[in-house]
Structure 1
Amino acid sequence: MQNNDRLTTLKGVGPEMAKKLEVMGLVRIEDVLEHVPFRYENYNSGTVTTAVHGDLVKWSGTVQAEPLVRYYSKGKNRLQFRLLLEDRYAVQVTMFNRAFYKEKLVIGETVTVKGKWDMNRMTISATDLEFGAPSGGLQPIYSLRAGLTQKNFSRIVKLAFEQVNDLPEQVPQAIRDRYRLVDRMTMLRGMHFPDTVETYKQARRSYVYEECLMYQLKLQAFRKMERSGNGRALHLDKHQLNEFVKRLAFPLTGAQTRVIREIVSDLERPERMNRLLQGDVGSGKTVVAAIALYATVTAGYQGALMVPTEILAEQHATSLQELFEPFGITIALLTSSVKGKAREALLTAIRSGDVDIIVGTHALIQGPVEFSNLHLAITDEQHRFGVEQRKKLRDKAEFADVLYMTATPIPRTLAISAFGEMDVSTIDEMPKGRKPIETYWAKHDQIDRVHTMVDRELALGRQAYVIAPLIEESDTLEVESATALYELLKERFSNYGVGLMHGKLSSTEKDEVMKSFADNATQILVSTTVVEVGVNVPNASLIIIHDAERFGLAQLHQLRGRVGRGAHQSFCILVGDPKSDVGKVRLKTMTETNDGFVLAEKDLELRGAGDFFGTAQSGLPSFRVADPVLDLKVMEVAMQDAVKLLGSDAFWHDAQYEGLRGYLKQLDLLVGERLE
């Protein structure tokens, strides 16, 4: 029997069971073998005298008395029987809704029970029972749906192993020997049915490397394909570029200078650029982008900058216009608000090459937009756009270099796995003279003092953000809502304009509210986290974040970055009474540092890799077993191995690498027999 045979070829898997398995995406035998447990229960198989009260135990003994069954409300029942352990300890075993065992339990027969040990009462609250002596101490727990039970699925896995003799290897023997990894069959058996902790550790170690290698092989193959295909080297006038930098109103930081060199080097290469530029809020990414755009235009090509919101697009277009006006470079703004004849004229100018730099929202990637000779495509706040949206912008030009920008610092532990196909440039230095934002933690009963601070800032002519986690009040959550705060603050600060922003507003309504705040027509903006990115109001000097412990550190830092953009000292007030230790650590950490990279590492530590980017982030890979943080060293080794493999002649010819080549073919990453 082959591992790719359908599950219905297994004895005992009929059409009904096959349907349940198909709901989970399990159709073939190999699918079941690959559906490894997500955790294990490690039952104490020690003695009665060594077990601790509350331990999960798995003990075998002999049945000493006739089982008793008591029925109570709605047909529920309780089964109890006495079990003799170690030929000297009589313990009471209780199982709920297992009345069917009454006829099967025979006095003097050996059975094994699993459950929680009550040392004081000498009882076991059992969750499972098997007849005979116990099997291994580690019990696999699977992620299941469609009404499947752990016992049923374990039986199907055992059937699969009984009927499959061999599995094709993906990791070559030479690599397995180098790292002392087990073969695939042994690895999967060890994941499903480890007889010891050491067996499991060895199986997991092999599985993690295989997952990391396959993932990195995909990333590095994609990177190699991108680099080797349809590039175009720009011939840059370095003297002209240096003169432009000298005429800036402020000196560049060392970090800005370093990343500009990296980007310019990419522009001059014949391979297509695929680079991520990450930098903290206020670190000067926009100026770096402007210099890259200037270099592109002076080389005779167009540049495009795509941003997530209309107001941010307008702000970028205005600042670039001021920056480039003395150099005769034309800037165009393309958003959904540009309509009718004005839109047609703008599209014609872009198509003919009369416009040098186009700034816009997702309107840039819509069908009718055609560029004359686009070469550099920049995506700001790249995590706000899906993979397909970013790809559409790139595909607007045959030879386009792409620069992605993010103000969410990516910890090194995630950069290698989430963005392994990109080159990463990091601005890790803040411009001189920028005043650090002062951050304070206030309890809810101190809100009057917080409002006094708002009075002070507004009296100085400044503006303030007030952030709430919910739009409207909740019956189940005791947290502030934006609508309730809006009503409260309208009354409390009746001499000032108060605006309300949240996700239920239309795009037009959001832009109107933001424009009113940007123009200082309203002095207080009450909002949910929709203002997290893409807003630049230099006059705003205060942000108050209610129930701050409910947000991750990366998000709190992004929100804090809405202030501190002007010449005035800015403040961030975190309002919250966290009940958990994590919440307290989160708020305390925010008051101790303004370094986004430090916060990103701490956030990763507190929340884990799966939640770092939030559910909308599609860049972070999903692994069955490997953990991008805990298994960082394995990921790094796998990346180095993948690069070496793809760069070797042997990889493309030797039979031992056939499984890896087949994997790349499935992903449509091979042209013929190799990447060109």
Structure 2
Amino acid sequence: MDIYSDIKYIVGVGPKMAEALNKCGIYNVLDLLLYFPRDYEQVSAGKSILECVESEKVIVECNVLNILKDLRLKNNKTLSTIVFTQGENKFKGKWFNQTYAKNSFKISNNYIITGKVNKFNGEITMMNPKIVKNTSMDTTNSIDTNNSVDTNKIIATYPLKNNVTNNFFNKIISDVLCNIEITEILPKWILEKYGFCSLDDATRNIHSPKSLELLNQSKRRLKFQELFTYSLKILMLKEFIKSHNEGIQFKIAPELTTLKGKLPYELTKAQSKVVREILIDQKKDKGMNRLLQGDVGSGKTIVAIITMFNVVKNGYQAAMMAPTEILAKQHYEEIQKVLKDFPLTIQLLCGSTSPKDKELIKRQLKEGTIDIIIGTHALIEDNVEFKNIGMIVTDEQHRFGVSQRNRFSNKGKNVDILVMTATPIPRTLSLYLYGDLDVSIIDELPPGRQTIDTSYESMDSSKKVYEFALNEIKKGRQVYIVCPLVEENEEMNLTSVQELYEKLKEGYFSSIEIGMVYGKVPSKQKNEIMDRFKAGEIKVLIATTVIEVGVNVPNATVMIIENSERFGLAQLHQLRGRVGRGVHKSYCILLANIKNKIVKKRLEVLIKSNDGFFIAEEDLKNRGAGELFGFKQSGESGLLLADVIEDFNILKLANSEAKQLLQSDNIEDIKVKNEILEKIDQSSNYICFN
């Protein structure tokens, strides 16, 4: 079996399941192995089912003794029953009106199942048990209930989508690992220096860990490899830019003076300073590669507009890419407003743009009749061509991987690149993440921006918090309520948002128009909801972090964040920045499970400061290592496993070793470097396989 073999050739994956896996982003064996578990369950096989107490949720390994015939009950319900054994003990699994459930079980097969235990009249029952794993075919990590030594087991639980079960993931990944050997890709001297396990062992133990210690070793190894490869690509990009950095020499357009006079407000000193830095770059015969950092509401967009305007007045085109349609549309409206007195052609290209309009816009871009184009990922499609692109702006840079940034910049020759982020990044971290870029910082807010009153409350105080929000709504204001993204489990995320929506719709906000947005809401519907919220028709917006960027509603004065202890400080600061944009007093209330002093200390950082850069530094210093088993699988930065803040120390080591590898003349090191870069180009992931 080859690492790039199509997923449909794996035993047990038919056409329908292959289609479901494709929808999860899994097309080949490599994609499957990089589909890391969302979490882990620890199974104690040594605990007898007899020891379990009433209503206790348990995970047990058992054998199917008998599958009974379905019973039709008087209340028209159908009862399905399976008799399980755990050693010498018997218990029953029961399902009401789920006749299909027993089809997943076979007599004499071993399974790990989970469910709640009921005890009545001496009979032990597990209601609606679910299969965690079918262990009958798993010879590598099975539990022998007669062996008192092997009593614990760690079971991987995956992000589930499109009716693909956890049991199925465990089975096909186990089958693949039995038929493949993963060749080492890191230099031997790195493995020895840090005592890393092999790539083959790390991959096996991340999916089917034999112990907690091996799981942690595997995570550390794979995180290092991912950050090492990321650093290698950034450093090589920097070297490439240095040696191939011919640029367009733009003049300072006289119309800039006219534009400055027509602005509805005066630029801050920080904005003026950054505009000068960019214009100086534009005058050079070297291509600009600059990162513009600015806190929420600091006015980065107007800086981009002024500098794009200068490029257009030099006879070139300019483009801006945003991560969401909401943000792209907002930029489009802002640019049109600021440049309304100038005869320029400005267009918007997004996923929801009609096919007819898309074709027209693409033709006009190629002909050069569009001066400024704003869009989403649609701008990096292969069939989007420019006549003479001179400047490319990427907004919210942390949401685009290095590969996407390169793809966009390759739309033109010697173009100036400006990447912007409203996520303040500590200087120490930015050197590692954006080592190929010069950095500009807007470190002051425009006059009139509100200071947001921030407080935290325990989850038990939600009644008081929602009553406060209701009073603000009665004053004519609007409210955001944000739910945490439950890792990458979209089904769980959807349920949590929906449950809160239903609860508040029937309770506190029963007489008020409320809306709901989350990641899986179609773009058209999401945009309609956001437009209604901006227009004031919807008074309360319940959302996940999809509203972290790109929403500007001056009338919204309250931001309530549920389970705020589950967010990083920088992200909480970003969310807080959605309010305080108008003339009214604004509030951010952090509802949290305050279990210890650490949670309290972290939240107090936000209460004491509105300085995003200070908060980011504190986040870098104090952020914990996460849950015992859990880790993110976000992919926003192009990273699958590592978190640049939580794993900052690993990033520093990985970056240092990547520099050493690049400077090495050793034949083996050169071979490793070339192999890694080849794998990156093939897969666009930073964890590489043979």
TM range (shorter): 0.5 to 0.7
Cα offset for 1:278?
Answer: 1.9
Cα offset for 1:396?
Answer: 1.8
- Aligned amino acid, residue 629 of structure 1: F
Alpha-carbon distance between aligned partners in 2 of 1:419 and 1:387, rounded to the nearest angstrom: 10
2:348 is aligned to 333
**Aligned pair 1:434/2:464, yes or no?**
no
8 Å Cα contact 2:229-2:676 kept in structure 1: no
2:567 is aligned to 551
1:504 is aligned to 520
1:601 is aligned to 617
**Paired residue secondary structure (2:571):** helix
1:460 is aligned to 475
**Aligned pair 1:266/2:269, yes or no?**
no
Cα offset for 1:170?
Answer: 7.9
**Aligned pair 1:224/2:243, yes or no?**
no
Output aligned runs, 1:60-75, within 5 Å.
none
Alpha-carbon distance between aligned partners in 2 of 1:581 and 1:229, rounded to the nearest angstrom: 52
Q: 1:253 to 1:421 in 2, by over 3 A?
A: same
Output aligned runs, 1:241-640, within 5 Å.
241-469=256-484, 481-489=497-505, 491-604=507-620, 605-607=622-624, 615-618=634-637, 629-630=648-649
Alpha-carbon distance between aligned partners in 1 of 2:561 and 2:190, rounded to the nearest angstrom: 51
- Aligned amino acid, residue 418 of structure 1: L
8 Å Cα contact 2:225-2:654 kept in structure 1: no
**Paired residue secondary structure (1:377):** strand
**Paired residue secondary structure (1:294):** helix
8 Å Cα contact 2:296-2:577 kept in structure 1: yes
| Number of residues of Structure 1 aligned to a counterpart in Structure 2 | 494
**Paired residue secondary structure (2:623):** helix
- Aligned amino acid, residue 354 of structure 2: K
Alpha-carbon distance between aligned partners in 2 of 1:190 and 1:635, rounded to the nearest angstrom: 13
Cα offset for 1:414?
Answer: 2.1
* Post-superposition CA distance 1:412-451 (Å, at most 9, x none): 3322222222223222222233221111112334333323
- Aligned amino acid, residue 503 of structure 1: G
Output aligned runs, 1:124-203, within 5 Å.
187=193
Alpha-carbon distance between aligned partners in 2 of 1:566 and 1:212, rounded to the nearest angstrom: 41
Q: TM-score, normalised by structure 1?
A: 0.62
* Post-superposition CA distance 1:492-530 (Å, at most 9, x none): 334432112122321211111111111111111111222
Alpha-carbon distance between aligned partners in 1 of 2:386 and 2:601, rounded to the nearest angstrom: 50
**Paired residue secondary structure (1:578):** coil
8 Å Cα contact 2:294-2:424 kept in structure 1: yes
Output aligned runs, 1:97-108, within 5 Å.
none
* Post-superposition CA distance 1:22-65 (Å, at most 9, x none): xx99xxxxxxxxxxxxxxxxxxxxxxxxxxxxxxxxxxxxxxxx
1:129 is aligned to none
Alpha-carbon distance between aligned partners in 2 of 1:474 and 1:310, rounded to the nearest angstrom: 20
Alpha-carbon distance between aligned partners in 1 of 2:522 and 2:225, rounded to the nearest angstrom: 46
**Paired residue secondary structure (2:648):** coil
Q: 1:238 to 1:659 in 2, by over 3 A?
A: farther
**Paired residue secondary structure (1:326):** coil
Alpha-carbon distance between aligned partners in 2 of 1:290 and 1:635, rounded to the nearest angstrom: 37
Q: 1:348 to 1:491 in 2, by over 3 A?
A: same
1:202 is aligned to none
* Post-superposition CA distance 1:115-145 (Å, at most 9, x none): xxxxxxxxxx9xxxxxxxxxxxxxxxxxxx9
Q: 1:100 to 1:542 in 2, by over 3 A?
A: closer
Alpha-carbon distance between aligned partners in 1 of 2:472 and 2:461, rounded to the nearest angstrom: 17
8 Å Cα contact 1:444-1:576 kept in structure 2: yes
Q: 1:599 to 1:188 in 2, by over 3 A?
A: closer
8 Å Cα contact 1:308-1:384 kept in structure 2: yes
* Post-superposition CA distance 1:201-238 (Å, at most 9, x none): xxxxxxx9999999766533321212432632232226
* Post-superposition CA distance 1:147-180 (Å, at most 9, x none): 9xxxxxxxxxxxxxxxxxxxx9989xxxxxxxxx
8 Å Cα contact 2:399-2:637 kept in structure 1: no
8 Å Cα contact 1:306-1:364 kept in structure 2: yes
8 Å Cα contact 1:311-1:535 kept in structure 2: yes
Q: Which structure 2 segments of 5+ residues have no match?
A: 1-28, 31-86, 90-142, 152-172, 176-184, 199-222, 679-690
User: How many percent identity over aligned positions?
Assistant: 38
Alpha-carbon distance between aligned partners in 2 of 1:99 and 1:491, rounded to the nearest angstrom: 53
Alpha-carbon distance between aligned partners in 2 of 1:537 and 1:566, rounded to the nearest angstrom: 8
Q: Which structure 1 segments of 5+ residues have no match?
A: 1-23, 26-71, 75-95, 102-124, 126-144, 148-167, 172-182, 193-207, 646-650, 670-676
8 Å Cα contact 1:234-1:296 kept in structure 2: no
8 Å Cα contact 1:468-1:528 kept in structure 2: yes
- Aligned amino acid, residue 349 of structure 2: L
- Aligned amino acid, residue 568 of structure 1: H
When the two chains are superposed, the root-mean-square deviation of aligned CA atoms in Å is 4.8
**Paired residue secondary structure (1:590):** helix
8 Å Cα contact 1:209-1:638 kept in structure 2: no
Alpha-carbon distance between aligned partners in 1 of 2:491 and 2:232, rounded to the nearest angstrom: 49
Q: TM-score, normalised by structure 2?
A: 0.61
Alpha-carbon distance between aligned partners in 1 of 2:353 and 2:232, rounded to the nearest angstrom: 44
- Aligned amino acid, residue 500 of structure 2: A
Q: Compare CA radii of gyration and give the structure with the larger one.
A: 1
Cα offset for 1:571?
Answer: 0.8
Cα offset for 1:551?
Answer: 1.9
Alpha-carbon distance between aligned partners in 1 of 2:651 and 2:438, rounded to the nearest angstrom: 18
- Aligned amino acid, residue 561 of structure 1: G
Cα offset for 1:634?
Answer: 6.6
**Paired residue secondary structure (1:607):** coil
**Paired residue secondary structure (2:515):** strand
Alpha-carbon distance between aligned partners in 1 of 2:505 and 2:326, rounded to the nearest angstrom: 25
8 Å Cα contact 1:486-1:500 kept in structure 2: no
- Aligned amino acid, residue 617 of structure 1: E
Alpha-carbon distance between aligned partners in 2 of 1:419 and 1:345, rounded to the nearest angstrom: 36
Alpha-carbon distance between aligned partners in 2 of 1:377 and 1:492, rounded to the nearest angstrom: 46
Alpha-carbon distance between aligned partners in 2 of 1:169 and 1:346, rounded to the nearest angstrom: 46
Q: 1:335 to 1:221 in 2, by over 3 A?
A: closer
Cα offset for 1:657?
Answer: 5.8
Alpha-carbon distance between aligned partners in 2 of 1:484 and 1:170, rounded to the nearest angstrom: 50
Q: 1:574 to 1:226 in 2, by over 3 A?
A: same
1:30 is aligned to none
Alpha-carbon distance between aligned partners in 1 of 2:561 and 2:449, rounded to the nearest angstrom: 22
8 Å Cα contact 2:661-2:669 kept in structure 1: no
8 Å Cα contact 1:227-1:273 kept in structure 2: no
Alpha-carbon distance between aligned partners in 2 of 1:609 and 1:416, rounded to the nearest angstrom: 24
Alpha-carbon distance between aligned partners in 2 of 1:97 and 1:341, rounded to the nearest angstrom: 64
Alpha-carbon distance between aligned partners in 1 of 2:590 and 2:276, rounded to the nearest angstrom: 39
Alpha-carbon distance between aligned partners in 2 of 1:450 and 1:547, rounded to the nearest angstrom: 13
Alpha-carbon distance between aligned partners in 2 of 1:581 and 1:517, rounded to the nearest angstrom: 37
8 Å Cα contact 2:562-2:592 kept in structure 1: yes
Alpha-carbon distance between aligned partners in 1 of 2:469 and 2:196, rounded to the nearest angstrom: 61
Q: 1:421 to 1:321 in 2, by over 3 A?
A: same
